[in-house]
Chain A
Amino acid sequence: MARISFQHVEKTYDNNVTVVPDLNLDIKDKEFVVLVGPSGCGKSTTLRMIAGLESITSGELYIGDRVVNELQPKDRDIAMVFQTYALYPHMTVYKNMAYALQLKKTPKDEIDRKVKHAAEILGLTEYLNRKPRALSGGQRQRVALGRAMVRNPEVFLLDEPLSNLDAKLRTEMRAQIAKLHKQLDTTFVYVTHDQTEAMTMADRIVVMNKGVIQQFDTPAHIYDHPANLFVATFIGSPKMNLTDVLLEKKGNTYYIKNEDLHFAIPAGKVNATFDQYVGKTVTLGIRPEDLHIEKIMVDTYPDAIFNATLDLVENTGSEMNLYFNYHGKDMILKTPSRFDYKDGDTISMAIDKNKIHLFDKETGKAIS
Chain B
Amino acid sequence: MKKKSKLDFDKTYVWMTIPLVALFFLFNTYPLIKGFLYSFTNFRGYGSYQSVGLRNYLDLFTDARVDHSYLFTFGVAICVTILVNVISLVLALGLNSKIKFKSGLRALYFVPNILGALVVGYIFNYFFTYILPAFEKMLFGSGSSILASQKWAWVAIVIVCAWQAIAMQTIIYISGLQTVPEDVYEAGAIDGSSGWTKFRTLTLPLILPFVTINLVLTMKNALMVFDQIMALTKGGPAQSTESISYLIYNNGMSGGQFGFQSANAVLFFVVIVLISIFQLKFMGKKEEQL
Contacts and interface: CB of A to CB of B under 8 A. Distances in A.
Given A82-B183, A84-B183, A89 B288 contact: yes
A74 B288 contact: no
Interface in B251-290: 288-290
Contacts of B197: 103
B14 interface: no
B191 A99 contact: yes
Nearest to A75: B192
A72 interface: yes
B280 to A, nearest CB: 19
Given A74-B194, A103-B191, A53 B289 contact: no
Main secondary structure of the interface of B (DSSP, over half): helix
Contact of B290 (A79, A80, A89): A89
Nearest to A83: B183
B138 interface: no
A86 B289 contact: no
Nearest to B193: A103
Contacts, number: 66
Please classify how large the interface on chain A is, using the bins under 10, 10 to 19, 20 to 34, 35 or more: 20 to 34
Contacts of B201: 99
A78 interface: yes
A114 to B, nearest CB: 14
B1 to A, nearest CB: 53
B111 interface: no
Interface residues of B, number: 20
Contacts of B153: none
Contacts of B192: 74, 100, 103-104
Contacts of A182: none
Contacts of A133: 289-290
B138 to A, nearest CB: 45
B205 to A, nearest CB: 4
A47 to B, nearest CB: 12
Given A103-B197, A133-B289, A88 B184 contact: yes
Contact of B189 (A53, A90, A147): A53
Interface of B: 181, 183-184, 186-194, 197, 201-202, 205-206, 288-290
9 contacts: A53-B189, A74-B191, A78-B190, A87-B187, A89-B184, A99-B193, A103-B191, A103-B192, A103-B193
Given A104-B192, A151-B191, 18 more contacts: A51-B190, A52-B190, A53-B186, A53-B189, A72-B189, A74-B190, A74-B193, A80-B190, A86-B181, A86-B184, A86-B186, A86-B187, A88-B187, A88-B202, A89-B290, A90-B290, A99-B201, A147-B187
